[in-house]
Amino acid sequence: MGELCSLPVKYQRRGNLRLDGARRWPAQESRQLRPARLAKGNGTTWAEALPLILAEDSTALVHLPVGKISRTFKNPRGTMNSRRTIIFCAIILVAIFAAFVVWPRAAVTLQDEAPQKKQPTPTIDEYQPKSTLVTKEHKLERAKFPFIDIHSHHWNPTPEEVGRLVKEMDTINLRVMVNLSGGTGEELKKTVAVMKGRYPDRFVVFANMSYDDLNTPGFGKRVAARLEQDVRNGAQGLKIFKNFGMDLKYAGGERVHVDDPEFDAVFEKCAELKIPVLIHVAEPSAFFDPWDYHNERWQELKEFPRRARPPAKYPPFETLMTERNHLFAKHPKTNFIAAHLGFHGNDLERLGKLFESYPNVYVDIAAVLAELGRQPYSAHDFLVKYQDRVLMGKDIYEVNEYKWYFRALETRDEYFEYYRKRHAFWRIYGFQVPDEVLKKVYYKNALKLVPGIDARAFPE
């Protein structure tokens, strides 16, 4: 109720909505029409004026709206009935004339309005407005510089898949692909062999932790030892998946916290081996919020209801952030790459503070491009300010989707559609960063963090 205007009750029902849409209230109406002298001017229709003119015995001043025909009639009380008839006829003629002029327009207006009344309201899926915006477009098929994709997933790829991958990578200037899904032990060895074995300078493989023996004492130390072996077998980093901190539980049912001391040995080992940890903690904060019409990721939660993180089953978003930041603080010599802008893409100021607090923290932009693209000015300034901390990544591999990243990073194109509607029902904007920043995001930061990538394939 508070947002509705509060008119006195007697006016609320008597308000007269005219065809031209102007609302006139009774008090105003009587003030305009009641006087004996009636001026036909703005705000009074002929339909309203006619009965009054005819009924009014006193003097009526009528300004006819037809140019020079406009005349003033003086009609004293009780005289010249025949003259009144002439006036009446003249008015009727003018009214007919006016009707002929106005009618076709009114008919068109009614035609325009008619389909709107018949059409049902579309659902959010059905409503696909086509933008009429005409503006410069730069649809880039290739990155301006060779780049490293720090965030990709290829589970147990076959040699044929890898061969195809390399051909596709060449078409978009993707120089080095980091496969975060290397696994551990024999699986990792196989993945390294099939990717790096044939294309040593095109692929990087990260190892993962196995939680099979989580409930056996000494788990953390064993993971650290396995990781050391994986690195010997060709792994160049550790990737931690999102179940860590959320779904992963001890046999007793207790959730493994992101900063669980059991894992300290693993993170210390990463520092010792000088390999980065790419870690996915939590999910977009909207997944932790109620699934209602105010939720920014309503569409995605409708398509994938299991992505919701209701409080009955999951720790709150902020709890996970606190644990994550504690992890960063505990291991200052370990380099962390927080996946997906650390899920602060919707709050770059907060992400900036995170960078200021923890010099060992970096982020990738995988699958969160729409966050940057909806705030091009902030995104540009953020990337310029924190150019040493942000890495190019894509997540789900699809060669035809990288071009959105190129377009956003390299152009100032405006208001273009994003490739995944469930991530963003909004359109995005390019935030074109200077070449020096672009080089850092595309490859220089990754070269600094990931050991063993041949820098000679990249420009200075």
Do strands 336-338 and 277-279 pair parallel, antiparallel, or not at all (unpaired)? parallel
Sign of the C-alpha dihedral computed for residues 127, 129, 130 and 135 taken in this order: negative
| Shortest distance (Å) from residue 280 CB to Zn ion | 6
Report the chain's C-alpha Rg in angstroms.
Answer: 35
| Shortest distance (Å) from residue 173 CB to Zn ion | 21
- Residue of this chain nearest to Zn ion (CB atom): 395
CA 67 to chain CA centroid, Å, is 56
| Shortest distance (Å) from residue 215 CB to Zn ion | 27
For Zn ion, give the closer residue by CB, 323 or 395. Answer: 395
For Zn ion, give the closer residue by CB, 230 or 395. Answer: 395
67 Rama sector, left if φ>0, alpha if ψ -120 to 50, beta otherwise: left
| Shortest distance (Å) from residue 131 CB to Zn ion | 30
For Zn ion, give the closer residue by CB, 208 or 285. Answer: 208
Asked whether 381 and 431 are in contact (CB, 8 A), the reply is no
| Shortest distance (Å) from residue 278 CB to Zn ion | 9
Residue 361: its H or E element: strand 361-364
For Zn ion, give the closer residue by CB, 49 or 441. Answer: 441
For Zn ion, give the closer residue by CB, 181 or 184. Answer: 181
For Zn ion, give the closer residue by CB, 149 or 395. Answer: 395
Q: What is the DSSP string of 267-323?
A: HHHHHHHT--EEE--S--GGGGS--STT-TTHHHHHH-GGG---TTTS--HHHHHHH
Closest CA to 211 of 180, 175, 247: 247
Asked whether 403 and 137 are in contact (CB, 8 A), the reply is no
| Shortest distance (Å) from residue 120 CB to Zn ion | 39
End-to-end CA gap in the chain: 64
Catalog residues that contact Zn ion under the rule CB under 5 A.
395
| Shortest distance (Å) from residue 307 CB to Zn ion | 14
Burial label for 13, CB within 10 Å (0-12, 13-18, 19+), is exposed
| Shortest distance (Å) from residue 109 CB to Zn ion | 54
For Zn ion, give the closer residue by CB, 149 or 410. Answer: 149
The SS3 assignment for 107 reads helix
Q: What angle do CA 410, 411, 412 make, to 5 degrees?
A: 140
For Zn ion, give the closer residue by CB, 348 or 366. Answer: 366
For Zn ion, give the closer residue by CB, 335 or 432. Answer: 335
Distance (Å, whole) CA 322 – CA 8:
53
User: Which tokens belong to 400?
Assistant: 């035809």
| Shortest distance (Å) from residue 329 CB to Zn ion | 24
